[in-house]
Amino acid sequence: MTAIGTSNTVAVVGTGTMGQGIAQVALVAGHRVRLYDTAPGRAGQAAGAIVGRLDRLVEKGRISAADREAAVGRLSPAAELAELADASLVIEAILEQLPAKQQLFTALEDIVAADCLLATNTSSLSVTAVAGRLRHPGRCVGLHFFNPAPLLPLVEVVSGFATDETAADTAYDTAAAWGKKPVRCADTPGFLVNRIARPFYAEALRAYEERTADPATIDAVLRDGTGFKMGPFELTDLIGQDVNEAVTHSVWNAFFQDPKFTPSLAQRRLVESGLHGRKSGRGWFDYAEGARRHAPQTAGPCPAPGSVVLHATLPGPAAVLPELIEEAGIKLTRDGTPSGPEGVIRLPGGACLALTNGRPATNRADGRYIRFDLSLDYRAATRIALAASAEASEADLAEAVGLFQALGKQVSVIDDVPGMIAARTIAMIIDFAVDAAARGVATPEDIDTAMRLGVNYPGGPLEWAERLGARWVWDLLDAMYHHNAGGRYVPSWALRRRADLEE
């Protein structure tokens, strides 16, 4: 165990929301904590704010009054950077500007002891670059906390190109000793969470730009249909559109403008308009008092079909649908006659209902198709998206809607686009995760842990790959690639290799 002992001082530079949160975590863990900010008086104000939060913890019974008094006695603001000389760990949480971070650490190197660990809380800059001006860059490591730091358990421990293994071990063990769940990560753009989570936002924005559905409907499909706690539009409104777009641009540029990370013009226009989300009172949605809340597009009631025919087996999680259909009292006939390369449910009027496979429903040689979107758990899902081919009639669509309504699902009918909403999003997240694991960015276990804890996903992307099958994911993305120019949906070689190993 190489965690920094509680008898050692921890210094935090930068006293915004994140800096205060990190300082509180170290303080409650038992360390002496010194706060420093370049703005006169800011460190003292931050110390007062932290004391106020400790008071609220006492009121809620989270800590005792005695622990509160002891913690307050260990907390002190610093008027000068030189007052951090006795720190064993300095964590910076200043502006996301590389020159500012480099200047801070080069100044600290002349002040602190040779064995003091220097940590950056950067979320999007290169740890290697932050440490690049140091005489001893091996002592610099990334300690990326998530906001609010006292509540969220995940900490990404990022090793720069020159970071010493002992420095990374000390950072990891210290975060664990503070009650956090650390994961190890190589210094790659976006680290783990901000890299692998990009498709959750990007595919929703792309679907909106393609006029697939409105923001409220896209949110509802991903939230109610797949188990995400929030939809991407409401989540970016909470984060701040300006903040989310800045991270997207940073990762895109760091990956040499790889089309997989291309930012959204629609989001750019929102930011240019000053519509930054909840903090500005309006983003994708209006948060003014009395404003009308936008509801998702939901199909009206349709009669359930009396019977359906199942041809072959539905793939992945959709394999449970026949069971749900029978439980709903709808007659299901299993027909072993092949319907083509995929399993389908044939409706009474003759139209075929099938899981999206990355191709549009329209222009199929066999005509009247209605695609349903992916869910990670069709039994638990409360909403399903449908997209009908141009050849399908209103009566065909009504039968499909009625079927899913009989299963207890709300139905959103969206435009016919490859990959629909949930399937394209989840497939891209899986591909990013598989690629990151193959490149040694982190272990598969740490990747899944990071996505569950960092962004509250309903499971780990590599767990999803096991459930869906890498071949199904690869086929869906490959189909989308052939329907979309530009390389955005080219599946990774790592995903292809994993798919080949399944066969």
- Report the catalytic residues: 123, 144, 156, 194
DSSP H or E segment with residue 54: helix 42-59
Spatial distance between the Cα atoms of 276 and 215, rounded to a whole number of angstroms = 15
- Give the strand order in the sheet containing 140-145: 75-78, 32-36, 9-13, 87-92, 117-120, 140-145, 154-159, 181-186
CB 137 within 8 A of CB 111: no
What is the rounded distance in angstroms from the CA atom of residue 275 to the CA atom of residue 471?
Answer: 41
Please state, in angstroms and rounded to a whole number, the distance separating the CA atoms of residues 119 and 143. 6
Q: Amino acid letter at 327?
A: E
Q: What does DSSP assign to residue 185?
A: E
Q: Which of 325, 354, 326, 324 is nearest to 339 (CA)?
A: 354
Neighbour order of strands in the sheet with 410-413:
331-335, 307-311, 344-346, 352-355, 369-372, 383-388, 410-413
Which residues on adjacent β-strands are paired with residue 120? 92, 142
Q: Yes or no: say if 425 and 168 are a contact pair by the CB < 8 Å rule.
A: no
d(CA 154, CA 450): 7
Residue 156, strand partner residues: 144, 183
Q: Which residues pair with 346 in a beta bridge?
A: 309, 352
Helices assigned H by DSSP within 178-214: 193-196, 198-209
> Would you call 145 helix, strand, or coil by DSSP?
strand
Distance CA 414, CA 385 (A): 7
Concatenated DSSP letters for 140-206?
EEEEEE-SSTTT--EEEEEE-TT--HHHHHHHHHHHHHTT-EEEEEES-TTTTHHHHTHHHHHHHHH
Instruction: Read off the tokens for 323.
Output: 């069971």
Q: Which residues pair with 158 in a beta bridge?
A: 142, 185
